[in-house]
Amino acid sequence: MNKAIGRQRRAAKTRARIAELKALRLSVYRSNNHIYAQVIDGVAAHILASASSVEADMRSSKGGSIEAAAEVGKRIAERAKQKGVEAVAFDRGGFKYHGRVKALAEAAREHGLKF
């Protein structure tokens, strides 16, 4: 088993637990260069809000840094609140809760998203 398969297995376990709760989930994907976040209604298979460091106004300034992850966390929280979402389950996608993933989660919490 290599690193990628291990991460995918961890992600599948987390998503299965969240699916049992029938809760909205804040899904995070971290690539080498960028970070992406989506609020997903798993029951209806519908994306309610999304934010990423690829967006035009962020792309040139911050790239994939911890500061960019914090900005993505802030944006996803604001967009989710506009859609009426207050609480979500955090799906870290099999990534360690550290660095950019942690920065995104903490920024989302600071801006009113509960998980």
Per the structure, the complete domain to which residue 31 belongs is given by 3-110
Which residues pair with residue 37 across a beta bridge?
A: 28, 51
In angstroms, rounded to a whole number, what is the distance separating the alpha carbons of residues 92 and 85?
18
The arithmetic mean of pLDDT across residues 100-109, rounded, is: 98
Residue 73: name the closest of 28, 15, 7, 18 by CA.
28
Looking at residue 58, its pLDDT comes to: 86
CA distances from 87 to 1, 23, 40 (A): 35, 8, 12
Q: pLDDT per residue over 41-81, tens digit each? A: 988 889 999 999 999 888 877 777 999 999 999 999 999 99
Residue 115, in any domain of the structure: no
Residue 66's CATH number: 3.30.420.100
pTM greater than 0.85: yes
In angstroms, rounded to a whole number, what is the distance separating the alpha carbons of residues 90 and 17?
11
Q: pLDDT per residue over 15-40, tens digit each? A: 999 999 999 999 999 999 999 999 99
In the chain, how many domains are there? 1
